[in-house]
Amino acid sequence: MPTLFDSLDRPARRVGPGIAHLPGWLRIDDQAHLVARAREIAAGLAGTPLGMTRPVTAGGQMSVYMLSLGHHWRARPYGYVSEVDGVAVPPLPGEYTQLARAAVAAAAGVAEELEPWAGESYRPEAALVNYYRPDASMGMHVDANEFSTAPIVSLSIGDEAVFRIGGTESPNKPWDEVTLMSGDLIVFGGPARGAYHGVPRIHPHTGPAGTGLKEGRINITIRQVEQ
Ligand SMILES: O=C(O)CCC(=O)C(=O)O
Ligand SMILES: [Fe+2]
């Protein structure tokens, strides 16, 4: 459970070139707002091909539930599409744009390699809302479907997660592991934009009260898709 002293133990830091971790960046009421909004959008899409489900990839069915905003991330074949079977992808909520721009600007203060995207030139266009049940995980992968090389903005809500980020050449060691708690921001871009990353596990029942999430973890990644 996060305490008053977490920010003392967990200062904002540059995990590596182009990787900034800002613990407790999102206030609890902003976290709750994001959860409520995602739930509302997911409820509206339930039963459609864009509903929040566990994608089936070439490697099998993922343990993470996914909801796409702005552009739909299609798992088979991989890529972004704007509609599926005539159902349009919901737009990116306006507040995501403000949030993502503020996130990149804050992250650039921690990892200077992110500075080129701190400003209006950064165009958030898509978001992936991931829901992890307590036993879910995500394998090492590269976010490679965007044409843009702009950074990935990642927000965590609910249970703590182990976030692993390594190099651009292989999904194997060496890598860094960062514990992401509710409200944490991580931004990776520049030299780390093509880095392999994943979530080997979450720590069940470690989320704070007040987010609206009873269990599990929500991760929201915001991305610029077009060049
Ligand atoms: O859940 C996370 O922290 C990472 C999610 C991720 O890598 C992705 O959605 O591409
Ligand atoms: Fe990713």
What residues have their beta carbon closer than 5 A to ion ligand 2? Answer: 143
Position 195 in a domain: yes
Instruction: Tell me whether residue 4 is in a domain.
Output: no
Q: Check the annotation: does 205 bind a ligand.
A: no
The 3-state DSSP composition of the chain as helix, strand, coil percent (nearest 5) reads: 20, 35, 45
- Quote the pLDDT of residue 9: 82
pLDDT at 95: 93
92 lines ligand 1 (CB under 6 A): no
pLDDT for 35: 98
Answer whether residue 126 is part of any domain.
Answer: yes
Asked if residue 92 belongs to a domain, the reply is yes
Predicted local confidence at residue 77, as pLDDT: 86
Whether 219 lines ligand 1, by a CB cut-off of 6 Å, is: yes
ipTM of the complex: 0.99
pLDDT at position 6, please?
Answer: 54
Taking the centre of ligand 2 as the mean of its atom positions, its distance from the CA of residue 6, in whole angstroms, is 26
- Give the nearest ligand 1 atom to 156 CA: 3
What is the block-wise mean pLDDT of the chain (227 residues), using blocks of 10 residues?
62 98 98 98 96 93 97 89 94 95 98 96 96 98 96 98 98 98 98 98 97 98 96
Cβ 160 vs Cβ 202: under 8 Å: yes
Within-domain flag for 159: yes
CATH number of the domain bearing residue 81: 2.60.120.590
Structural domains of the chain, count:
1
Ligand 1 contact, 68 CB (< 6 A): no
Q: Is 89 in the pocket of ligand 1 (CB under 6 A)?
A: no
User: Can you list the pairs that 69-72 forms with residues at least 24 positions away whose Cβ atoms lie under 8 Å?
Assistant: 69/41, 69/93, 69/96, 69/126, 69/127, 69/128, 69/129, 70/96, 70/124, 70/125, 70/126, 70/127, 70/225, 71/125, 71/126, 71/225
141 is in an annotated binding site: yes
Q: Is 15 near ligand 1, meaning CB less than 6 Å away?
A: no
DSSP class per residue in 142-197: -----S--PPEEEEEEESEEEEEE--SS-SSSS-EEEEE-TT-EEEE-GGGTT--E
The rounded Å distance from CA 194 to ligand 2 centre is 10
Query: What pLDDT does 3 receive?
Result: 57
| Residue 143 labeled ligand binder | yes
pLDDT at 2: 55
Task: Give me the domain span that covers residue 118.
Answer: 12-223
Instruction: With beta carbons less than 8 A apart as the criterion, state whether 67 and 38 touch.
Output: yes
pLDDT at 185: 98
Q: How far is the CA of 207 from the centre of ligand 2 (A)?
A: 21
